[in-house]
Each structure stands twice: as structure tokens, then as C-alpha cells.
Structure 1
Amino acid sequence: MHDAIIFLGPTLAKADAAAILDADYRMPVAQGDVLKAVLEKPKAIGIIDGYFENVPSVWHKEILFAMKEGIRVFGASSMGALRAAELHPFGMEGVGAIFEAYVDGRLEDDDEVAVTHGPAEIGFPILSEAMVNIRRTLSDAFAARVITEPVRRALEEGAKDLPYKERTYARVLRIAEEQGLSSREIAAFRSWLPTGRADQKREDAVAMLRTMRAALAGTWMPAQPIFPFERTTMWEKVSRPVLQAG
């Protein structure tokens, strides 16, 4: 039995994650999954990827329940960063630049981390680009003097205006060309992109796994709840079947 359960999907390949932290890696988290994980009594739960839109998202309440049970809950990158930003005042442990950007208000929208991807059976191939990755990549391109600030800003705004499922660099650059942005800068960015493209979500996922590895290797401190856990009627209704089954 592993000390940690990690919910992971397209952000990081399972083999790469396992090379950093020996853990029980599971599918992206959905509603009820953390509650089920609590029954196994791991020391820690890590949330990187999670389902939304067509599948009910992980409840805040089940994360609070895990912490009430002494289980430390970490979050980064995607759904993990969102929930950690919302629950860090209650003890959830966020890691990485994306989490920090949500906490300090530089990021607000859920679509910043959303991507569309293929099925788990073929490794969750990513079919669109996360807005947080586009922002980081454009900032790096500007810092490297590949593009100017007006072009960086125009590309960023063009990407943000797209539905998250349609965000790709090819689409963003095509829109930029249609808008008449500098052809020289667009060509320079296109040439730079294969080696310059940043993956902030992946970097944050790696950082979270390393943080968990260090914590598990040291003197372990279980979660110390700083909140009263309210067993509401709704909580009892939705949790009882899961807890009884366990």
C-alpha cells in the first residue's frame, strides 16, 4: 500500500510522475473520488488533474473531510491548483506558479487551466493548449526578444478570446496573421516555438510531487484541521453510500 494517492491525467505522463514519487496514481479526480481515497487511509492525497464540465467535479467538502481525517491534501497545475487556491485557508497545500497566481488574483477563470484531450487508453493526448501555458510561453518569447510587447499582448488576448477547446498555437497565429500583426515577429515566434514552448502545468506538477516526496521522507506531520467540519444533511446524503460501501 502506498503512502500517497495522486490523481493525474494529461498534465504529466504517469511514468515521469512515478520516477519522482512512488505513489498510487489514479485517473483525473471526479466527484466522490477523494472521499473513496480517504477510506484507504493514505498519509497524503495529491490532486493534479480533474474532470469538469461533463463529469461532476471533486467537492470541496470531500477535501475538507480528508484533512479532518488527518490526511494532507496537495494540489497543483490544474484542478489541483484551483481547489488549493480555494481551500488553502483551511489547510490544503498548494504548490507552483499557477496556484500562486490564483491565490493573488492574477488568475481568476477556471478556463485558464482547461484543456481537451484524448482517452486514457492512449495516454491522454492533449488536443488544445492551456491558457496558463500560452501566457508563460508568450512572456518567455518577449523576454527573449522574439516578439515585442504589443504583439505579445495581442497574441495573449487572441488566445484568451478563444474557447478553451480551440486554443492551439496554430489557431492563435492564424488569427494574428488575419489581424495583420507583424509578419516578421509572427514568423520569428513560429520558428522559436518548438524549443521555446513552456509547459507551466507540467512544471508545477513536478514541483508538487517533489514537495510531497520530501514531506513523506521527513518527519511526517498529519493534517491539522483548523476548521469545524459540519456534517450537513447534504453531506450525509451523498457521503453515506460511499462510506458504508467502504
Structure 2
Amino acid sequence: MTLYMFLGPTLRAHDARALLDAQVLPPAEMGDVCALATLPEPPRGILIIDGYFDSRPAVWHKEILFALSRGIPVWGAASMGALRAVELRRFGMVGVGSIYERFAAGALNDDDEVAVAHAPAELGYRPLSQALVNVRFALDLAVERGVVGPPAAAATLEAARRLFYPDRIWPAILERAARAGLGEGARRALAAFVAGEDVDLKARDARALLRTVAALPELPAPAVDFAFERTTLFERMMEREVPLRRRALLERAERAARGG
């Protein structure tokens, strides 16, 4: 049985494979989880790290419930996986990491916190912007280490929050914060700090998920206490979308097996 992970800009595929023996798939989109859940050989588990939400339809909650109802463990972290794990934790999906915990506790609320722009598959889904949750993490560390004070960090966070997610890169964030009153000394200090420190909380959480799963002999079966209901919309997706997604995922797996 195969373990599958949906991965994109959060972590490079070869770094993920170094931590966990699993089939790496592109960011999850509508139909992908059902496509895996209906394979002739059911997955050993499904790990969701990254998922589409803008350019393509996002993975449905309903299809994760479908996989769980079939006894397939579904775990998530870092990005779309953390969001879905919080939303479906009472139905048996498992979340890992600081971002998951912050959403579960209500300290974070907006999906926008984990959104990033990224390059296409041909360029390895390289992130092209900063996730707001990473900006928060960086600023918390900067305050903790005395790089800047809380007022400067708060002003910088607000500047980042007001930017549309594809525009959140550090130069733009700091420039906007400077226009709002951030001093030149604080701006330079923050620029040097984020350039020299590991402030990627999403990547940290992704690695935590993979290490956690790698340490387990088997993923435990999900604790399911609900009856799955097949709605008209669900049946339509199963009929129209899932065969296409299954074919695409299997073709990608075959290319990966050939080294392509």
C-alpha cells in the first residue's frame, strides 16, 4: 500500500522524500482525494500539505470525509492541509504543527494566512510570495531576539496584512511599513534578519508532519463516528471529475517511477 502526499510550494519534493517514503503529488484540487480513495489498492494514508484554492477548485471537505469513511487516514499540516485538518478534526482528520494548532485554538482565522503565489510545476512550484503566517512568525522571532520592538513589528505585520497575498514579498512589506512610519533603522534590521534566519513556519510544519508519520509503523485508522451521505453534487463529482483526476495522478506517478 502506498502513502501519498500532496505537496507544492511549501517544501521541495526531494526534501520531502528525504524525510518520508511517499508518492509526491501536486497540490490537491477537487477530486484528487476521491481519486486516491477509489484506487484498486487503497492508500496507506493521504497527507495534505498544499492545495489549490484560487486558480483551480479546492479539495472538498466532502471528499476527505469520504476517504475517512473508507478507513483511509488523512493527515494535514502547514497550508491547505492545516486548514482542512482543523475543519474536519472532529470527523477523524489529523493535524500536525504550529499552524494547525493556532487555527484550532482560534489564534488564526483567515485562510489568507497561508496563501502564497507560486511558480508552475515545471519550476517546482517555487513560492513567489510570503505567507502571512510566516511573516507573523518572523516578526515574533525578531521581537523575541531584540531586533525590533513590538510597535515596529505590529506596524510591519499590518503592512503585510493589507497587501494582496501575491504581493507579499519582504521588500514590498517593508516599503509599505516604512511609508506608514517604520523607521529606517528598524526597516534595515528586519531586512537583514529575515534574510539570514529560517523564518519559514510552513516548511517547518511540513517537515514535522513528515517526521511524525515516518516515525510510525503504520498510520492509525481514523476514528470515524459519522455516516457518510452521498449527495447529488458528490455523485456528480465522482462521475465527472474523479476519473479525470485519477488518470492525471496515475500518469504523474508513472512518470515519477520512470524518473521523469
Whether these two folds match at TM > 0.5 is yes
TM-score (norm 2): 0.89
Q: 2-side partners of 1:152 and 1:4: how far apart?
A: 41
Task: Tell me if 1:101 matches 2:102.
Answer: yes
Residue pairs, 1:134-213, within 5 angstroms: 134-213=135-214
SS of corresponding position for 1:230: coil
Alpha-carbon distance in 2 for matches of 1:97, 1:166: 24
Q: Which residue of 1 aligns with 2:85?
A: 84
Structure 2 distance, partners of 1:242, 1:5, is 19
Deviation at residue 3 of structure 1 after TM alignment:
2.6
Residue 23 of structure 2 corresponds to: 24
Q: What corresponds to 1:34 in structure 2?
A: 33
Q: Does 1:15 align with 2:14?
A: yes
Residues 141 and 196 in structure 1, CA contact (< 8 A), matched pair in contact too:
no
1:242 shift after superposition: 5.9
Partner SS, residue 94 of structure 1: strand
Distance 1:130 1:143 in 2: 20
CA–CA distance in structure 1, aligned partners of residues 167 and 49 of structure 2: 22
Residue 124 of structure 1: SS of its match in structure 2?
coil
Tell me by how many angstroms 1:172 deviates: 1.0
Q: Secondary structure at the match of 2:75?
A: strand
Distance in 1, Cα, partners of 2:215 & 2:23? 17
Matches of 2:183 and 2:243, distance apart in 1 = 63
CA distance in 1, matches of 2:204, 2:242: 35
Q: Please give the alpha-carbon distance, in whole angstroms, between the structure 1 residues aligned to 2:23 and 2:243.
A: 23
Partner Cα distance (2:125, 2:212) in 1: 24
TM-score (norm 1): 0.94
Q: In structure 2, the residue corresponding to 1:118 is in which secondary structure?
A: coil
Q: Distance in 1 between matches of 2:187 and 2:242?
A: 55
Q: Equivalents in 1 of 2:189, 2:220: separation in Å?
A: 50
Q: Which residue is 1:64 aligned to?
A: 65
Total equivalences in the alignment: 243
Task: Work out whether residues 146 and 188 of structure 1, in 8 Å CA contact, stay in contact via their aligned partners in 2.
Answer: yes
Letter in 1 for 2:27: P
**Distance (Å, rounded) in 2 between the aligned partners of 1:152 and 1:132:** 14
Distance between the aligned counterparts of 1:204 and 1:197, measured in 2? 13
In the alignment, the residues of structure 2 paired with residue 163 and residue 47 of structure 1 have an alpha-carbon distance, to the nearest angstrom, of 24
Deviation at 1:206, TM superposition (A): 0.5
Post-superposition Cα deviations, 1:69-110, rounded to whole Å, max 9, x if no partner, equal 110000001110110110001110000111111111111111
Cα shift at 1:127:
1.1
Which structure 1 segments of 5+ residues have no match?
none
Contact 2:156–2:182 under 8 Å retained in 1: no
What SS is found at the alignment partner of 2:140? helix
1:43 and 1:222 in contact (8 A); partners too: no
- State how far apart, in whole Å, the 1-side matches of 2:62 and 2:208 are: 25
**Cα-to-partner distance string for 1:105-146 (whole Å, 9 max, x where unaligned):** 111111100000111111112111000000000000000100
Shift of 1:203: 0.5
Q: Which amino acid aligns with 2:205?
A: D
Whichever residue aligns with residue 177 of structure 2, its letter is A
Between the aligned partners of 2:80 and 2:193, the Cα distance in structure 1 is 30
After superposition, the Cα gap between the structure-2 partners of 1:197 and 1:207, relative to the gap in structure 1 and judged at 3 Å, is: closer
Give the share of equivalent positions with the same residue, in percent.
Answer: 44
| Worse-matched range after superposition: 195-204 or 144-153 | 195-204
Contact (CA 8 Å) 1:68, 1:224: kept in 2 or not?
no
Please provide the CA RMSD for this pair: 1.6
The aligned residue for residue 229 of structure 1 is: 228
Contact 1:134 1:156 in 2 (8 A): yes
Aligned with 2:4: secondary structure? strand
